[in-house]
Structure 1
Amino acid sequence: MLPMTLGRVPQSDLVFKDSEVSGKHAQINWNANALKWELVDMGSLNGTFLNSQSVNHPDVGSRRWSEPAKLEDGDIITLGSSSKVSVQISLQNQQVPVGVGMASDAMIARRTGKKLPMEDVSCYKYPLTGAKQFGLFCIFDGHGGDGAAKAVSRIFPENVANILSQGETIERVLTCGSASDVLKCAFSLTEAAVNHQYEGCTATALLIWFDQNKDCFAQCANLGDSACIMNVDGNPVAMTEDHRVVSTTERARIAELGHPLKVGESRICGLNLCRMLGDKFLKEQDPRFSSEPYVSPVVHITKSCSAFALIASDGLWDVISTKRAAQLVLEYKERHKDQIVSADSVAEHVLSEARNLRTKDNTSVIFVDFDAMRTGSRTAS
């Protein structure tokens, strides 16, 4: 049963006979958006510690709940000074053939010092229902709220799975070596299903699949300014297109519609984006807005390749170039080449660089490590 409460009272799910443990001391829950287990201090008197680090609310003595802290396999939770819980996390009924790491941070508004409202939603699913050799990795960055992003995170993966499960669709993708039609159709169906008039979201979706030889194929589709890059045997591959108003491709597309932007014009109806899901009211008012995604060429990854993908919201790309992001991954893996490197640690490393550079926006990162195909290891967030 979730959430799981840790405390001294009998109503707790895990009961401690320790006078330093509060009646309801801490809580463990599953974050379905970030796909992570999290620990929260429930305003305890004597504190909750994760690997000896306090997770209490910064306002000591306020009895307010803390921010969630991510749990990983092997962590030690301490309630008060002596009651300890060892964390063991195992995957059940989910075999992920690639390494997957996820990290996110709402970040801090630099002028006020307050935490920004989190409007990013990250998700991945492998295998897709009815399409066991397919997996999907997505980041949706909301604006005007997180409602559209949360809705799309539910609807879009379902649409992709439903399309792939229809008749000969999978065979066609494997034969043609492309899922372009699947991705375009999924975006179209999702846009039709999202009924958010004054909220919208970007969408970046990386679809991977395996053929009968266990080689992997990756294809990306996107709307907005989140981005996906890949690196295959040291060669960078851009998997997305920038859909900000200031981008060359968008200005050209808008000019073809007969409504060219003026020199220096960088926003339409207050938005710096031209393509998104949702925002139905704006699309009704201005035909320059679009929900037509860019779809990348297919990248073929054999078991002998060294490859990874990095998907991130614009909070990362505002302060780090795609070239630098790839370097961060390669340098981190090289520095720890004699150790077992988790995909989560790589994602956290990239995220921390954005934090150090004081990004002013929500930042989410998904790291997909295809080297796990070669080593036979399986890593999940």
Structure 2
Amino acid sequence: MGACCSCQRGGRFESFFVDEEEQKINIEDEDIVLRGDSGARIRLQGSSKYVSMYTQQGKKGVNQDAMTVWESFSGDKDMFYCGVFDGHGPSGHKVARYVRDLLPAKISTLYKQASTDGKNGALDIVDANDDVRENPFFLSWKARLIKCFEEMDEQLEGDSSIESYCSGTTSVSVLKKGEHLIISNLGDSRAVLCTRDENNQLVSEQLTVDLKPNLPNEAERIRSRQGRVLAMEEEPNVYRIWMPQENCPGLAMARAFGDFCLKDFGLISTPEVTYRKLTERDEFVVLATDGIWDVLSNNEVVKIVASARKRSLAAKLLIEKAARAWRYKYPCARIDDCAVVCLFFKRPMPLLTKSVSEVTHLSLNYAELAASGHVAKSDDGLDTVLNCNVNGSPEGDEKGVDGSDSAVKRLRKRRPGKKLKHGGE
């Protein structure tokens, strides 16, 4: 929990650049859909057939979380881009929105360039038994994405309208095309997949690693650049990056856009890029900022999303459950901002009236049902069919669904001038 302590120092995208503060609209009650590159539908709020997204301000001030979904990404109707961004620092909310608006456009340009080279469908040749990490086409995609992230960071640094010396943002995003999922992770937001085990039970699979400063490889890189990895006495389990000679900024992640005060001391903007080939067992993926993961386990998140009465309500339900867990587990702490994007992989099944559902086989297709007039109408057609019940509530159980302790240590009230605890391994 926590992003950074204080530190002071004193080319807009041609298609669009959105600042909710300037728009003065209630984004919780309206769909925000814009038109992007090659006709893509850019969704900043709301839901669609395959997507549920929601964000909620915490108790720390302005909401520094942002999110976006590009449907028909780069003009490809079978392609989605989804991302969440967790800003931190004095201008973290501006940095998060800046990257949210510009990064997908850069990736879209990259995708079209790959298409020109004849490599946009390269992952289609990956066999299920292949080690995709050695696939030359995936390695090419990975190199392009890393280059794209680094160019985004350079553009941010060069834009004087955005204060990013001691402000920044994390990012976790997925590109989905058919059965192929490419994940790019920068920081400590997280992507978790819902799939089914051999008993057809819903289970979670974490797709990313929380890139914290105390991870051995991250800590080694930071210290090799003279950065310090230390925990404050009142937060013994929260390791932060500090400048060599100053007790600032105290950044609680090892990679991020912005935060240029630390870029010479081990902080990097290079994402971890991984690949997952989807199967019929896979149901959906959840992208969320750390305000969710600080209080809910992966299994709890999967069960909550699966239990939503409608897909359109899934992200909001998850945030509501997380807010209740915050109040129970950390009653003296300020609830963190939360942003959630749920991307469902399968078409929503139609609701059946009771009489028909009792006598029809599952193989009866939707067209036949519609023609017979037995399809029950819903208000949005986004009803889930996972029928997963969540017993109890987060505030009634300190353990996760899997029986493990899903919470981090209770956050104690922070006071300035406390001693730092050396460590990080």
TM-score (norm 1): 0.64
Call closer, same or farther: CA 1:282–1:348 in 2, change over 3 Å. same
1:297 to 268, 272, 275: 275
Is residue 230–residue 241 contact of structure 2 (8 Å, CA) maintained in 1?
no
Call closer, same or farther: CA 1:281–1:255 in 2, change over 3 Å. closer
Aligned to 2:150: 188
Per-residue CA distance 1:228-272 (angstroms, 9 max, x = gap): 100122342211111122345533554676878468682112111
2:206 to 234, 238, 248: 238
2:86 to 137, 141, 166: 141
Call closer, same or farther: CA 1:158–1:180 in 2, change over 3 Å. same
- What does residue range 155-234 of structure 1 map to in structure 2 within 5 Å? 155-166=102-113, 167=116, 168-176=118-126, 178=138, 179-195=141-157, 196-210=164-178, 216-233=179-196, 234=202
Separation in structure 2 between the aligned mates of residue 237 and residue 259 of structure 1, nearest angstrom? 33
Call closer, same or farther: CA 1:259–1:106 in 2, change over 3 Å. closer
Separation in structure 1 between the aligned mates of residue 275 and residue 175 of structure 2, nearest angstrom? 12
1:125 to 70, 73, 81: 70
Query: Aligned AA for 1:281?
Result: C
Cα root mean square deviation, aligned: 3.4
Aligned to 2:293: 317
- What does residue range 1-381 of structure 1 map to in structure 2 within 5 Å? 69-71=28-30, 99-109=50-60, 116-144=61-89, 145=91, 146-166=93-113, 167=116, 168-176=118-126, 178=138, 179-195=141-157, 196-210=164-178, 216-233=179-196, 234-251=202-219, 253-254=221-222, 261=229, 266-269=239-242, 270-284=250-264, 286=265, 288-301=266-279, 304-330=280-306, 332-333=307-308, 336=309, 341=310, 343-358=311-326, 360-372=335-347
Q: Structure 1: which 5+ residue stretches go unaligned?
A: 1-30, 41-66, 73-91, 110-115, 211-215
Q: Identity over the aligned pairs, expressed in percent?
A: 20
Call closer, same or farther: CA 1:130–1:346 in 2, change over 3 Å. closer
For the residue of structure 2 that corresponds to 1:138, the secondary structure is strand
Is residue 123–residue 139 contact of structure 1 (8 Å, CA) maintained in 2?
yes
Separation in structure 1 between the aligned mates of residue 156 and residue 255 of structure 2, nearest angstrom? 15
For the residue of structure 2 that corresponds to 1:295, the secondary structure is strand
Separation in structure 2 between the aligned mates of residue 378 and residue 184 of structure 1, nearest angstrom? 38
Q: Structure 2: which 5+ residue stretches go unaligned?
A: 1-16, 32-38, 127-131, 133-137, 158-163, 197-201, 243-249, 327-333, 351-365, 367-379, 384-425
Separation in structure 2 between the aligned mates of residue 290 and residue 93 of structure 1, nearest angstrom? 30
Stretch deviating more after TM superposition (275-284 or 179-188): 179-188
Is residue 180–residue 275 contact of structure 2 (8 Å, CA) maintained in 1?
no
Is residue 344–residue 367 contact of structure 1 (8 Å, CA) maintained in 2?
no
TM-score (norm 2): 0.58
Query: Aligned AA for 1:159?
Result: K
Separation in structure 1 between the aligned mates of residue 255 and residue 40 of structure 2, nearest angstrom? 37
Is residue 222–residue 229 contact of structure 2 (8 Å, CA) maintained in 1?
yes
More helix by share: 2
Aligned to 2:12: none
For the residue of structure 1 that corresponds to 2:336, the secondary structure is coil
Call closer, same or farther: CA 1:170–1:199 in 2, change over 3 Å. same
Call closer, same or farther: CA 1:306–1:374 in 2, change over 3 Å. farther
For the residue of structure 2 that corresponds to 1:292, the secondary structure is coil
Is residue 372–residue 378 contact of structure 1 (8 Å, CA) maintained in 2?
no
Query: Aligned AA for 1:200?
Result: G
Separation in structure 1 between the aligned mates of residue 220 and residue 146 of structure 2, nearest angstrom? 21
Separation in structure 2 between the aligned mates of residue 68 and residue 39 of structure 1, nearest angstrom? 9
Query: Aligned AA for 2:120?
Result: I
Is residue 18–residue 101 contact of structure 2 (8 Å, CA) maintained in 1?
no
For the residue of structure 1 that corresponds to 2:211, the secondary structure is coil
Is residue 285–residue 343 contact of structure 2 (8 Å, CA) maintained in 1?
yes
Higher normalized contact order (CA 8 Å, seq sep 6+, divided by chain length): 2
Aligned to 1:213: none
Call closer, same or farther: CA 1:172–1:197 in 2, change over 3 Å. same
